[in-house]
Structure 1
Amino acid sequence: MPSTRIFSLIIGIDNYKSGHIWNLHACVEDAKRMKKWLLEQFSVPSDQICLLLDSRATKSNIENAFMEHLVNNSSIDPGDAILIYFAGHGSSMLAPSEWYNAEVKAEMVEVLCPYDHDTKAAQGRVAGISDRSFHAMIQDLANRKGNNITVVLDCCFSPFQTPANILQRSTTRWSKTTRAEPDDLYRGLWPSAREKPQEAPLGFSQLTPSHIVLLAASPGQRCIEHKDGGRFTTNFLHTMSGLPLHRTSYVQLIEHLQQLNEGAHTCICAGKYRDRILFDCVPFLTNSHFLPASLDEKTGLIKIIIGAVHGIVEGTELSLHLHNYHYSRNPSIATVIVSDVQASWCFARYKSRPETLPALFWAQLAKWNNRCPFRVHLESSLISFFRTWKLRKALPTNPSTGPAKNRLQVLRVKQQVLADISLSVEGNHVAVTQHTLPQPDTRTVHIHSKNPIDVIDDAARFNMHLLRNNIDKPLHNLIDMEIWRIDRHSWLRISGNHLKNGMAIIPQDDSAVYQINLRNKSNIDIWPSVLYMDPSQYEISTAYSSASCQEPPLRSRGSFNIGSGEPGSEALTFPLDDHSSIVFMKLFFSSVPVSMSILEQCSFSPSRNNGPRCVFDVPSCLRSDTPNVVWDTTLVPLVLVRQESCL
């Protein structure tokens, strides 16, 4: 899954420094649950989350983390999503003189209670983080990083209304401030708030343009917790896991939360842009592993834009879904099995039928139905015996057992000579020895931080796409290719052709860029695509795609340069390890535009582009019934060596 451009400051406080503040029970766990939710549901890298718990969540530590992790964080670009979460006590204090504008009639100030709230400081006492300070902090952040800021406060700011409620203070996220004075609020003000008197009496629920805030309770209401978590945070996480987030606004989210509260208290969503989609849609990039699909009225079959060029065969199984966005709930609504395969699309029949289908929906591969199982030989030592034994139990030894859970049919073999790969689990990494790749020598690669089953899945799909081709070879010897090094400024060639006898030796240095020249000797106009395939990590990425081109880039009897200096044709670079390595370029040629992004399996760099995210021209794709589509492939091994070693 791709990582997400969400950055977060999460604060949870159960145990307070002051003996006058009643300790809570579930705030720390709520904060940990929020972090886990970001890690698992949105694939947020852990270094994009700052977690402050209990004694680490002092007022100064919170303010320092706010500056270092958010405001001054060079990794955060304007428009990236920022989430600030606080679980702990809220409080309220008498406002000092001139705290509000003269026309504002208010007496109280809402404050968030850090760990050291209401304790002695260098001067006076810690009076928490006031609403006035907080809004100035967020405005400073918005000025630097944009207003895609979400604040979630699981606390309340109103005192108990009846003596009976005092008995429930251990489950209420509000505390009385007993010793801090109104002047302490002035001493603790955020610098940019000092010359800006409070303009509204609404506390943290002001309708600001700088951020959206979600509050657990309205003024005068209690925010409560149980031992298994705060009611608001629990409902928030439950709701976020069950909604199609890519089309859910903050207002709609709060409506769902209110339904779960069943009238116990009223949640608040405040902010000028509260009708905005959650996180301003930043996490919800389109997922290229979902394919456009539609119901064919003539045949009653499902037409899906994936075909033989992608490796589809009869019997391939796909699930149907309502959308194609990352990180938004998207359950399967039906299952189909491919019955008719064309070059760039296929027909599929229902295996399980939905009640209704929209005009446009999406398909995802469930089982490739590869005819020849991918064969794995497991090696083990005394140290790795237990982990290897568990792996043996997960892999079938009989083809009749069908595809494994990794969507490809995988077979465990007892003899290395019969295997495509040999695999062993060694400490915190998996060692894989290649046996069938088209390269001069057999190499062992070490892959870290991956489950062995995931490594086998990646290796199986990598090998399938690397080795498969069109058995008819319609363009055999009809497309010539050359690889040239070019000057990155003038785009002029500065080397001879590196591609000789079907293999390219690529001298490397830090500034080397290359150009591919294609010459078409056929009578067919061609749309080319280039995949970069790295067997050291089983990564497949798109180096060049012509799928969005209206006109064929490689005309009949013509030529085309990939890396020409023209828009959409960037020069190629080849990353190099510390030693010589062998990678592959797989070229796909088609007489119609075809997206090959479904084959990608690589480290994902989230897009920072706020433009259109749909990668398919869906209506034209589904209407296209071009007969006699021609497609073919070419595989080029690249031997990457450092330049000085070739002198």
Structure 2
Amino acid sequence: MASEKIPLYALLIGINSYLTAGFPSLRGAVPDTLDFKRYLETELAVPSEQIIVLVDNKATRTAMIDALAAFGTDKRIEKGDAILFYYAGHGTELDPPTPWKLDGNNEKIQAIVPYDCNSGEAMGLTVPPIPDYTLKVLLSRIAREKGDNITVIFDCCHSASGTRGSRPVESVESDSVVRVRSAELPSFVCPDNLDEDILNNGARGAFVAPKHSMRGLGSHTLLSACGKEELAREERGHGRFSASLLRLLRQVSPENLRHSEILGHALFPRILDQNPQCEGIYKDRTLFNRKVLPAQRKSFAIEQKGGNYTVGAGTIHRITKNSEFTVYRKTDITLSNPVGTLVVEQVAPFYSSAQVPEGSSKLDLTQPLISVIKKLAPQEFRIRTPPGNGFTSVYHEFLKARKQEFGNITLVNATRDDAHAEISLTDENRILFKFNTGRGLGGTLDVAENSIDNDDDDLARVLAAAICFYGEFENHYEDSDISKNVSVEIYRLVIMNDQTMGFGDFGPPRMRPVGPNLYNDGVVNVHMQYANAAEDDYIPYGIRVVNKSGGDLYANLFHFNHGELSISPCAIAHDSGHHTLDVPLRKKGGALTIGYGNSGYPAVSFNVADGLDLEVGFLKVYLTTESVDLSYIQQDTPFVVSRHMVQHKPKPKTAWTDIIVPIIQHRETLRHDTQIQN
């Protein structure tokens, strides 16, 4: 009998010794790589023929790129199989080529250093490092062919600028010396055509543009050893990060471990002078996605301070006084064995102070615990129905059996403007929803429509989604110190080096903004100009958020579509567990770009439903003074059943605010002779 296929393929690269004498030798990169190979073979039973290992002189630039690209054409790999790309060695940073300076920050780009890098003549490099953007494009190509079940692990420095004057004196005889996995390339200037051969080879409302969906953080999940301005270190013959990660993986099966849980796991220690990062739209998937865990509700950490418990959820999570949490052991993956309850007494922006109910035992914090929201303040949802319409009787019959679930819904005798939705029964016995956008945009823009069959289960699904949707949409906190100092810009994007909308078989191209900022007078107007009058060729748009305030900020961006009650992520805060997270919006001018630049977030496009000429959606930008992961608020439309941070220092201000950008979508077909050219 043929053995069961293990759907996991890996490329493992480790470089201790470099061809160029100017790069300091490492001691742990190759052992770490071989340790990962042994882990895959012994713990996960991955056949050796499914693991490619390149160490030292085998890890040339050409060999690394070819081995990575080969995943996309490997016939053994089926779409959805797990792919692992691991690199241990030197990292570096470079000034970007002129065409890449797109986001206004002029930030350096990060790169990994192959064995033969800088091995040419003294006049300069003939073999450059491999920049992050080249890697993103290669990973995007793989994702388009084999799916986005790709895990990338980098144990190297994201930045080399901090190594000047800080590198220790190395002792060849000693493994206890701390070495830095960073290489300096002070004389190298990226040519404008760097990796040109690689880079240029050819739902309704807002969504990730179809041909951009696999770009950057939409194609893979990245686990990195440190922040982009930090140094990855090794000692005692191993990288600190790799050793900690492997120690965790040998104790906790990847089948029960999400990417986002790794860095905050009780068995993953804090690493001295390093803050590992977890990035990617799909970071809540299990590691290697070897099986799909049951859908998990968002959990929050618990700490005990004095006589109270502090829960890592606050007003931004819709927590109010008397909200309740159910408590579980962190090891209870399925959340099936509650060990207690907490009731909120005081609420701050990101944290709550809570107590156990009167008469209940105190929580046992000798083991790590987590909390899950059990009860929020009732979210009133107001509906109206036209006088004399048959839905009134349908609703009363429906409510008889579901009063406990939908008791917070109020049937009001009011104008449509005072209700969240007008619901009616049509002559075709369908239930018609007219959702109030609540923004006073005027006329039909104030209403979004959709309908379902007259079925109790369908109605329950839509009402539950509507309550969650409006609960998130109306959860607002005004902090003018933040909102008045942050700008949001939206631009149309074009391809940098290709005048067509076709991307060949290679994957998404580099994009740049063109034309003026479309966010004017408090609204964005976008016209549904289809590049080739085909449904999958929607024009891509990019978003730029600029922080002009005096404090660092973090951002989550979502598109709210009232007509479909869907909440779609455009950018989600990264994760660093109990480590310090990189700041995406640095004070006094930091910018986050979506769809272009180096953030890795894909472009967005807009669509108008069949039969309509105009729709409205809203971009909601959550801005926080601490990193807050809001990925859990995203939701699919219920209208289609899915089968798929001696002298007193003032306490830092903790606050959040949100900016809502109305986006009006007009239907219009763009003729070929009027297409915007590069």
**TM-score, normalised to structure 1's length?**
0.48
Q: Tell me the TM-score normalised to structure 2 length.
A: 0.46
Structure of greater Rg? 1
Higher relative contact order (CA 8 A, sep 6+): 2
